């Protein structure tokens, strides 16, 4: 007779808790949820923030980013990115500007209101980090930041080491 479903689920949960990627993803989701809730509760220069917005915003470069590149970075369709961008353009957070490298293309970039919203959001994240630091200790938070920074560099290097797939 097969294993009880609960027994299999407990093993799966244990395996997830022992996996760095799973723990990072869950921590990122929970941090994002708390930050979005706090931003919306406190108000500020940004409109009502949605989790889809917080997944988009970190991928917009200072000089602006094409929608096709944002879609690639997020792993979603150009149409889905376009809807998010349109939403934030209407709210005054983003704007579409000519691409200096290709006159047919446009880049998504932050407006002054968008820059203020990003600064406000970073302030909320700093508050959350301070609260977490009090819970787990400042030395552990500093070590976590250092480790995550090293991990980010290593992951970016992995991207450079992997050849892009052939275009169809």
Predicted local distance difference test score (pLDDT) of residue 51: 86
Q: Which residues contact 20 (CB under 8 A, 6 or more apart)?
A: none
pLDDT > 90? residue 3: no
pLDDT > 60? residue 55: yes
Share of the chain above pLDDT 90, in %: 63
- Higher-confidence residue: 7 or 163? 7
Delineate the domains of the chain, giving CATH numbers in brackets.
Answer: 18-160 (1.10.10.10)
Q: Span 147-153, mean pLDDT? A: 94
pLDDT > 70? residue 30: yes
Predicted local distance difference test score (pLDDT) of residue 50: 84
Give the tokens for residue 137. 């200790």
Residues in the chain: 168
Predicted local distance difference test score (pLDDT) of residue 46: 62
Q: For residue range 73-93, list pLDDT tens digits in order.
A: 999 999 999 999 999 999 999
Sequence-ordered strand ranges (E) for the chain: 65-66, 94-99, 102-110
- Higher-confidence residue: 3 or 52? 52
Q: For residue range 119-134, list pLDDT tens digits in order.
A: 988 999 999 999 999 9
Give the tokens for residue 161. 């080491």
Banded pLDDT at 165 (limits 50, 70, 90):
low
Helix (H) or strand (E) holding 69: helix 67-74
- Higher-confidence residue: 164 or 126? 126
Least confident of 11-15, 62-66, 74-78: 11-15
Q: What are the beta bridge partners of residue 108?
A: 65, 96
Q: Which long-range contacts (CB under 8 A, 24 or more apart) does 123-131 make?
A: 124/35, 124/38, 124/39, 124/42, 125/31, 125/35, 127/38, 128/31, 128/34, 128/35, 128/38
């Amino acid at each position: 007779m097969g294993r009880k479903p609960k027994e299999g689920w407990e093993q799966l949960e244990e395996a997830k808790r022992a996996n760095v990627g799973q723990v990072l993803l869950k921590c990122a989701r929970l941090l994002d949820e708390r930050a979005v809730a706090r931003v919306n509760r406190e108000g500020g220069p940004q409109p009502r923030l949605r989790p889809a917005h917080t997944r988009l915003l970190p991928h917009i470069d200072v000089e602006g980013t094409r929608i096709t590149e944002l879609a690639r970075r997020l792993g979603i369709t150009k149409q889905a990115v376009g809807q998010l961008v349109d939403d934030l353009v209407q709210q005054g957070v983003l704007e579409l500007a000519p691409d200096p490298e290709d006159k047919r293309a446009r880049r998504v970039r932050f407006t002054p209101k968008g820059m203020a919203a990003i600064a406000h959001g970073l302030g909320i994240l700093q508050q959350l980090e301070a609260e977490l630091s009090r819970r787990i200790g400042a030395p552990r938070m500093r070590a976590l930041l250092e480790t995550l920074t090293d991990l980010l560099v290593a992951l970016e290097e992995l991207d450079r080491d992997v050849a892009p797939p052939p275009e169809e």
